[in-house]
Amino acid sequence: MDFFHYQDNHLHAEQVAIRDIAENYGTPCYVYSRKTLERHYHAFTDAAQGHPHQVCYAVKANSNLAVLNVLARLGAGFDIVSQGELARVLKAGGDPAKIVFSGVAKTAQEIAFALKTGIKCFNVESAAELRRISEVASELELLAPISIRVNPDIDAKTHPYISTGLKENKFGIDIKEAFNVYQLACALPGIEVVGIDFHIGSQLTEVAPFIAALDKVLALVNTLESAGITLKHLDIGGGLGVPYDSEKPPHPSAYAAEVKARLADYQHLELIFEPGRAIAANAGILVTKVEYLKPTKDKHFAIVDAGMNDMLRPSLYQAWQQIIAVAPRQDDTPLHTYDVVGPVCETGDFIGKDRPLAIQPGDLLAQRGAGAYGFTMSSNYNSRPRIAEIMVDGDTCHLIRQRETLESLWQGEQVLP
């Protein structure tokens, strides 16, 4: 559930009319709802009650400082994948002791920075990475807390680009080899084994693949414990899907209930979640203006001011996100089936296809589900400044990232002398 709704035929974020935001800050822009972010975060913490737990929000979904800060104030931890994300979390007031560091390509510099920061855990993706962490930690005379990310070879039944738990994927360590890597970890200097983790993919709409992966991982936990390797936490990754269209993903409470049932005999293992999309996606919309209507012999195009550089998901994954009128017309404007396309010079530049809409140039549209993997995947392609981000809190709007200026487009560039 979210806090975007119609009031007097006008779309609102909490108590603020989207039309007013567009007037004040221009379009295109991202609009987030604080209350929705908080509600979704609490859905996880409430669901996890009864088992020691930590929710580590996946920063890649939406890394705006204000978003991170809202979650940090609630006690969230964070799942990061780069030094940049770590720096953002610290800047936003996040607690280093609640940060887990994922990602397949951690550099020595990133490892050193994270070690000095005092993060909770490195989620290790290969034996080579483990050796590098050991070297860096030994050099700094620090102890690196680690977890092995195991690849359980489970089909998450999601888009192939966002599936991560199959053995052909680059992520994690083959579950069959993980025991040996744990033994290596115990033998290496500068390493403290604290956990185990997996993440099998994103936008999962069923609990079964999570449980199948969990069962395999718990079997490994048992083997490790019989060999005297005891763990403090079990991190089950992110990946819980959201309803963009007619998907019916399980509520966090149903998902957590099944997980907790499996963990009844593992009270000593803190349960870590790394949700990104489930917290942020439906806490944000992309607001865009219709510039032109272009009827052709075959199609009706609605050309809008937001493009694939602002919102890449439809172009990259053929993702479907709802597009609605900010103020649905009540006049005799005809309803047509539109391809909603952007200004970028690519045929793949669309934010939605075959959408029934009654619109005129100048009308505002909102693309829903845009709070996760929206702004964070945006770029300056076609020399388009990245757009403003606004957070609504009750009846108040906060500009949480200003629209980039033209000058910012060439910041750091230099012509030859």
User: Contact positions toward ligand LLP, by CB under 6 A?
Assistant: 58, 61, 79, 102, 162, 199, 202-203, 237-240, 274-278, 313, 317, 373
Q: How far is the CB of 90 from ligand LLP (least distance, A)?
A: 19
Residue carrying the six token digits 């052709």: 296
Closer by beta carbon to ligand LLP, 237 or else 307: 237
Which of 29, 56, 186, 345 is the catalytic position? 345
| DSSP designation for 385 | P
- Tell me if 275 is assigned to a ligand binding site: yes
Q: How far is the CB of 155 from ligand LLP (least distance, A)?
A: 16
395's CB contacts (< 8 A; 6+ apart) are: 14, 15, 16
- Tell me if 247 is assigned to a ligand binding site: no
Q: How many CA atoms lie within 13 A of 166 on its CB side?
A: 12
Closer by beta carbon to ligand LLP, 172 or else 190: 172
| DSSP designation for 308 | T
Q: How far is the CB of 203 from ligand LLP (least distance, A)?
A: 6
CA distances from 209 to 103, 153, 156, 199 (A): 21, 10, 6, 11
Closer by beta carbon to ligand LLP, 279 or else 390: 279
- Tell me if 139 is assigned to a ligand binding site: no
Q: How far is the CB of 161 from ligand LLP (least distance, A)?
A: 7
Q: Do 271 and 236 contact (CB within 8 A), yes or no? A: yes
Is 345 noted as a catalytic residue in this protein? yes
Closer by beta carbon to ligand LLP, 88 or else 199: 199
The DSSP result for 216-227, as a single string, is HHHHHHHHHHHT
d(CA 369, CA 281): 5
Q: Do 119 and 143 contact (CB within 8 A), yes or no? A: no
- Tell me if 277 is assigned to a ligand binding site: yes
Tokens of 355: 């959408």
| Nearest alpha-carbon partner for 370 in 299, 297, 307, 280 | 280
- Tell me if 291 is assigned to a ligand binding site: no
Annotated binding-site ranges: 239, 274-277, 313, 317, 346, 373
Q: Hey, which residues are catalytic here?
A: 345
Annotated binding-site ranges for substrate: 277, 313, 317, 346, 373
